[in-house]
A = this chain, B = another copy of it.
Amino acid sequence: MSSPAIDVLALGNALVDILSHEQDDLVTRLALEKGTMHMIDAARADEVYAAMGPATEVSGGSAANMTAGVASFGGRAAFIGRVADDTFGRVFAHDLRSAGVQFDSSLASDGQPTGRCLVIVTPDAQRTMSTFLGAATELEPDEVDEALVADSAVTYLEGYLWDQPPAKEAIRRAAAAAHGAGRRVALSLSDPFCVERHRDEFRALVEGAVDIVFANEDEICSLYRVDEFDDAVRLVRGHCEIAALTRGSRGSVVVRGNEMHVVVAAPVHEVVDTTGAGDLYAAGFLFSLTHGHDLATAGRLGSLAAAEVISHLGARPEVPLAELAAPLLG
């Protein structure tokens, strides 16, 4: 098996975030559930956008944010996801490529417009998200470059992909190509509601096709329908080669077989916006793992990246993570 050209390849929903600061009453008026992500159609997206105040646009998407993190550490990252040949599609491609991520997907000239996530930020710093997936839902299996998958040490899948049935064939094909080439497959459970929607499939994946699972406390407890984190840890360590489980300010727990590492959270001066914390934790973890570091170091770099991204608005790193990581890597 030759050395892979790419450290981490991610498949995910390509989205541009549209953010505005609002009072709590708007969330109520729009009948949204605060702090969660809602899947919406184009008409509802127009309705929510019309109700929002002046906004800011910035490229997002959970798995894409993760790849931007890997690149910021100096790793070789690539992303596969579908955007349209429109303004937001060009913005998404520009931002990802200029972050140093390989993004070879062509901009689709037909089908739906590029997906967007309408983000309402309330005074308590919580985010209420309404996602119109648009072009992202039309990811075709043949848009997954199997040679690229085979040439990537890890292929990373975001749980949100399961919300769009047509993507499943693309995911299956990617996972098969990765294992066929002797590479690893990672899965992020994305959010507790996503786990609710797809629990059986996620369970089957974690027990079968997936080598590395990322989840926070709520997600992993939901996956196993248990109340206690320790019970979830006991279950997942029997199912999946590596599990990296985040616990907010209480740090993270990394398990592999009988091995367990408890990692403290990196210090943060002020938590401004927690979006992207899980994505960036995964970025630091996978960068470490694909660069020969041990699991404890992987957890520490994950915490470091998460701490950077929650210290400012926005879900992609604002300073080179390689510089922050240098003292830890000696």
Chain A positions near chain B (C-beta within 8 angstroms): 21, 49-50, 52-59, 68, 86-88, 91, 94-96, 98-99, 314, 316, 318
With both chains docked as a complex, state the minimum distance between the C-beta of A70 and any C-beta of chain B, in angstroms.
14
Residues in B with CB closer than 8 Å to A88 are: 87
With both chains docked as a complex, state the minimum distance between the C-beta of A246 and any C-beta of chain B, in angstroms.
24
Check A95–B55 contact: CB distance below 8 A. yes
Residues in B with CB closer than 8 Å to A53 are: 98-99
Residues in B with CB closer than 8 Å to A52 are: 94, 98
Check A94–B59 contact: CB distance below 8 A. no
Q: Give the CA-CA distance A327 to B96 in the complex, in Å.
A: 46
Q: Give the CA-CA distance A163 to B66 in the complex, in Å.
A: 43
Of chain B, the residue at the smallest CB distance from A21 is: B318
Check B56–A58 contact: CB distance below 8 A. yes
Would you mind naming 13 contact pairs between A and B with Cβ atoms under 8 Å apart? A49-B94, A50-B94, A52-B94, A52-B98, A54-B94, A54-B96, A54-B316, A55-B91, A55-B95, A56-B57, A57-B58, A86-B87, A87-B87
Check B54–A57 contact: CB distance below 8 A. no
Check A54–B87 contact: CB distance below 8 A. no
Q: Give the CA-CA distance A181 to B58 in the complex, in Å.
A: 44
Of chain B, the residue at the smallest CB distance from A89 is: B87
Check B21–A91 contact: CB distance below 8 A. no
Residues in B with CB closer than 8 Å to A56 are: 56-58, 314
Check A54–B21 contact: CB distance below 8 A. no
Of chain B, the residue at the smallest CB distance from A86 is: B87
Q: Give the CA-CA distance A54 to B61 in the complex, in Å.
A: 14
Of chain B, the residue at the smallest CB distance from A113 is: B87
Q: Give the CA-CA distance A21 to B57 in the complex, in Å.
A: 15
Besides A52-B98, A86-B87, 7 other CB < 8 A contacts? A50-B94, A53-B98, A54-B94, A55-B91, A55-B94, A56-B314, A87-B88
Q: Give the CA-CA distance A314 to B19 in the complex, in Å.
A: 14
Residues in B with CB closer than 8 Å to A59 are: 54
Residues in B with CB closer than 8 Å to A49 are: 94
Q: Give the CA-CA distance A86 to B91 in the complex, in Å.
A: 14
CB-CB under 8 A for A99 and B54, given A49-B94, A87-B88: yes
With both chains docked as a complex, state the minimum distance between the C-beta of A108 and any C-beta of chain B, in angstroms.
15
With both chains docked as a complex, state the minimum distance between the C-beta of A100 and any C-beta of chain B, in angstroms.
9
Residues in B with CB closer than 8 Å to A68 are: 54
Q: Give the CA-CA distance A50 to B95 in the complex, in Å.
A: 9
Chain A to chain B: the 8 pairs with minimum beta-carbon distance, closest first: A87-B87, A57-B57, A54-B95, A53-B98, A56-B58, A54-B99, A54-B98, A56-B56
